[in-house]
C-alpha cells in the first residue's frame, strides 16, 4: 500500500507541475491575444485570471505533494555514498525549481494584472 501511495503522490506532484507550466503558456498566449486585439481584451481577461488562479493552485499542490514525497523517500536504497549525492542534487534541483516557479508565477501575475 505504501508503494502505491508513493507512486500516486509522485504522479500528482509531476502532473501538477506540468499543469502549472501549461497555465504559464496559456496566460502568455492569452496576454498576446489581448495585446494584439483590443476587441477581445475584455472577453479574454477573466479567462486569463482563471488560468492565473489555476496556476497558483497547481503550485500549492506541488508544494503539498512535495512535502508528502519527503516522507516517502526516507529509505537508503542506493547506498550511503550515493544517497548523500542524491540528497545534495535534490537540494540543488529544488533551489533551481523554486526560482523557476517563483519567477514564472511573478511573470504570470504581471501579465494577468497589468
Question: How do residues 10-39 score in pLDDT, each as one tens digit?
Answer: 899 999 999 999 999 999 999 999 999 888
Q: How many domains does the chain have?
A: 1
CA dist list (Å): 95 to 15, 52, 61? 20, 23, 18
pLDDT at 78 over 70: yes
Which residue segment(s) compose the domain that 97 sits in?
2-112
Record the pTM. Answer: 0.86
For the chain, what is the largest distance between any 2 Cα atoms, rounded to a whole number of angstroms? Answer: 62
Q: How does pLDDT run across 83-106, given as a tens digit for each residue? A: 888 888 988 999 999 999 999 999
In 3D space, the residue among 30, 36, 38, 25 whose CA is nearest the CA of residue 113 turns out to be: 30
Amino acid at each position: 500500500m505504501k508503494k502505491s501511495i508513493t507512486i500516486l503522490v509522485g504522479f500528482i506532484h509531476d502532473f501538477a507541475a506540468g499543469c502549472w507550466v501549461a497555465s504559464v503558456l496559456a496566460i502568455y498566449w492569452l496576454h498576446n491575444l489581448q495585446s494584439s486585439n483590443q476587441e477581445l481584451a475584455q472577453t479574454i481577461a477573466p479567462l486569463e485570471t482563471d488560468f492565473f488562479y489555476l496556476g497558483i493552485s497547481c503550485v500549492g499542490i506541488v508544494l503539498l505533494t512535495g512535502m508528502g514525497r519527503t516522507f516517502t523517500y526516507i529509505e537508503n536504497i542506493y547506498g550511503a555514498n550515493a544517497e548523500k549525492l542524491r540528497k545534495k542534487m535534490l537540494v540543488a534541483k529544488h533551489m533551481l525549481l523554486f526560482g523557476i516557479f517563483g519567477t514564472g508565477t511573478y511573470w504570470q501575475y504581471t501579465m494577468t494584472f497589468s
